[in-house]
């Protein structure tokens, strides 16, 4: 009896080891778990050189196979979190079809829509205008214009800690809130406010309320590090994890409905997520895709970029800020660009292709957008909307 019991226990132990080998994907279980290190040391105890080499091998990290027990996949290449620990590549580096050119390859109609809208925007855009000014002392009312789209890229104090930016004058949220956005925003208009990734989310909402805007969207920028693999962004004091995202709050002023204001907004074209490479150390650059989102969404031609730089000067936009190297803004010339209309207009083909909100059901009360309830203005699609992106 005892011999049969021992034999049965040994067979169970052997089966457990084979199952563990299969789970870890290794041939030598002892080597994977590091249980044969002591045996090797005892054998080579009389040879100091071999003992030193064993210590070096023991400290050298080879792969993470031994730590994958219990993971969903037996293939360590599919564990993007562990791959980040091993290589420094962030999981978002492996999301496919994030570029502006190949995003809609699987959706020909959306690809045609974006191409037609880009052509229309470039055709109706006025030459770039820019004004170098100290925004702390400059009164924005002196621009003597109302704007449909306002993009604000403030140099937040947070960037000195996360990006290592030192060559600019930082603004706190009290100064940002004091900007006279109320006087330069049109009766129906939109504001896009970059607010970082910490306390700016709450303080940015207060700014929108103070300027008479309602927050309608939170656009998130997920930063990749494909060009600088293994390098990590600076961390906040006393922080354990480093942030790899940033937020841009979108606010709406006035009454704008997707079902009735097709002459001013085209919703359901872009999504509220940007996946793009993080800037170089010490840079304040933001993804150029934010300009595309604003231009695709709002058809108004009066566009203003506050805290702009030479790199952000763009056709169809008036750029103001202290970091510009020159000025060419002329009020009379700017007004002449708007003489043929303050919106880009829309072709029949674009109107046919663009996703639209579903009509309200008979007898149902229409909500925002006339679809019987609240809907997100920028990102959500109706029943007849095609998939909005090629991302998984």
As a whole number of angstroms, the distance between CA 191 and CA 211 comes to 10
Report the C-alpha gap between 148 and 303 in whole angstroms: 6
Angle (nearest 5°) at CA 235 between 230 and 237 = 155
Closest listed residue to residue 292, CA positions, set 151, 104, 127, 126: 151
What DSSP string describes 33-75?
HTTTHHHHHHHTTT-HHHHHHHHHHHHS---SGGG-TT-S-S-
CA distance 261 to 255: 9
Please identify which residue in the block is written with the tokens 């030598």. Answer: 28
Lowest mean per-residue pLDDT among 9-13, 198-202, 296-300, 373-377:
373-377
Which of 307, 254, 272, 251 shows the shortest CA–CA distance to 380? Answer: 272
Confidence of residue 25 (pLDDT cuts 50, 70, 90): low
Contact 235, 197 (CB under 8 A): no
- Percent of the chain beyond pLDDT 70? 72
Lowest mean pLDDT among 172-181, 286-295, 337-346, 359-368: 359-368
Reported as a pLDDT band with limits 50, 70 and 90, residue 69 is: low
Please provide residue 123's backbone torsions phi and psi, each rounded to the nearest 5 degrees: -70, -40
Q: How high is the pLDDT of residue 351? A: 87
Higher pLDDT among residues 366 and 220, named by residue: 220
Q: What is the pLDDT of residue 370?
A: 41
Instruction: Please check the confidence at residue 70 and state whether its pLDDT lies above 70.
Output: no
3-state SS assignment for residue 147? strand
pLDDT band at 2 (very low <50, low <70, confident <90, very high): low
> Which of the pair, 257 or 192, is modelled with greater confidence?
192
Place of tokens 């021992």: 6
Name the average pLDDT for the chain: 79
What CA–CA distance (Å, rounded) separates 97 from 113? 17
Can you read off the two tokens belonging to residue 316?
């169809």
The candidate with the shortest Cα–Cα distance to 389, out of 102, 24, 20, is 102
Residue-by-residue DSSP string for 78-94: G-HHHHHHHH---GGGG
Percent of the chain topping pLDDT 90: 41
66 pLDDT exceeds 50? yes
Taking the C-alpha atoms of residue 308 and residue 351, their distance in angstroms, rounded to an integer, is 32
What is the reported pLDDT for 205?
94
Q: Which residues contact 151 (CB under 8 A, 6 or more apart)?
A: 191, 192, 290, 291, 294, 303, 304, 305, 306, 317
How confident is the model over 4-14, as a mean pLDDT?
80
Q: Is the pLDDT confidence value at 295 over 80?
A: yes
φ/ψ of residue 336, rounded to 5: -65, -30
Please tell me which of 29-33, 169-173, 256-260, 361-365 the model is most confident about, judged by mean pLDDT. Answer: 169-173
Find which of 26-35, 77-86, 268-277, 342-351 is predicted with most confidence, using mean pLDDT.
Answer: 342-351
Residue 388 has pLDDT above 80, yes or no: no
**What DSSP letter does each residue of 219-238 carry, written as one string?**
EEEEEE-SSSTT------TT
Candidates 295, 291, 290; CA nearest to 275 is 290
Closest CA relative to residue 129, chosen from 326, 342, 322, 344: 326
Is the pLDDT confidence value at 112 over 50? yes
For residue 341, count other CB atoms closer than 10 A to its CB.
10
Structure tokens at 171: 């603004």
Q: What is the DSSP string of 252-281?
A: EES---TTT-TTTB--SSS-SEEEEEPPPT
pLDDT tens profile 147-163: 999 999 999 888 777 66
pLDDT band (50, 70, 90) for residue 307: very high
Does pLDDT of 380 surpass 50?
no
In the predicted model, what is the mean pLDDT of residues 82-95?
83
Report yes or no: 104 and 114 within 8 Å, Cβ to Cβ: yes
- Give 309 or 36, the one with higher predicted confidence: 309
**162, two tokens:** 């996360």
Is the pLDDT reported for residue 332 higher than 80? yes
Mean pLDDT of 12-19: 79
Which residues are within 8 A (CB) of 275 and not within 5 positions of it... i.e. 6 or more apart? 92, 95, 98, 221, 222, 224, 391
Q: Is the pLDDT of residue 59 over 60?
A: no
């Amino acid at each position: 009896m005892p011999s049969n019991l021992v034999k049965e226990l040994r067979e169970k132990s052997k089966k457990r080891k084979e199952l563990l080998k299969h789970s870890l994907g290794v041939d030598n279980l002892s080597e994977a778990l590091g249980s044969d290190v002591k045996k090797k040391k005892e054998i080579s105890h009389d040879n100091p050189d071999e003992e030193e080499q064993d210590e070096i091998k023991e400290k050298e990290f080879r792969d993470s196979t031994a730590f994958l027990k219990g993971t969903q996949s037996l293939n360590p290449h599919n564990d993007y979190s562990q791959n980040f620990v091993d290589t420094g590549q962030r999981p978002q580096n492996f999301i496919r079809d994030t570029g502006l050119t190949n995003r809609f390859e699987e959706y020909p109609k959306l690809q045609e829509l974006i191409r037609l809208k880009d052509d229309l925007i470039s055709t109706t855009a006025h030459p770039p205008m820019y004004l170098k000014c100290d925004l702390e002392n400059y009164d924005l009312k002196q621009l003597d214009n109302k704007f449909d789209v306002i993009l604000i890229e403030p140099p937040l104090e947070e960037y000195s800690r996360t990006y290592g930016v030192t060559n600019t004058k930082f603004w706190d949220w009290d100064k940002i809130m004091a900007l006279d956005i109320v006087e330069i925003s049109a009766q129906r208009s939109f504001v896009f406010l970059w607010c970082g990734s910490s306390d700016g989310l709450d303080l940015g909402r207060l700014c929108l309320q103070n300027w008479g805007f309602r927050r309608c969207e939170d656009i998130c920028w997920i930063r990749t590090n494909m060009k600088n693999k293994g390098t990590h962004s600076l961390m906040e004091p006393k922080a354990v994890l480093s942030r790899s995202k940033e937020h841009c709050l979108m606010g709406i002023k006035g009454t704008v409905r997707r079902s009735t204001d097709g002459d001013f907004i085209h919703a359901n074209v872009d999504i509220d997520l940007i996946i793009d490479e993080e800037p170089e150390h010490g840079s304040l650059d933001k993804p150029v895709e934010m300009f595309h989102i604003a231009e695709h969404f709002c058809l108004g031609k009066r566009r203003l970029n506050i805290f702009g730089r030479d790199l952000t000067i763009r056709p169809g936009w008036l750029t103001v800020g202290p970091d510009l190297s020159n000025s060419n803004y002329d009020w009379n010339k700017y007004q002449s660009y708007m003489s043929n209309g303050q919106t880009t207009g829309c072709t029949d083909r674009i109107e046919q292709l663009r996703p639209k909100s579903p009509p309200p059901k008979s007898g149902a009360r229409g909500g925002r957008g006339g679809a019987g309830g609240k809907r997100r203005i920028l990102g959500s699609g109706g029943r007849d909307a095609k998939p909005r992106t090629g991302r998984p």
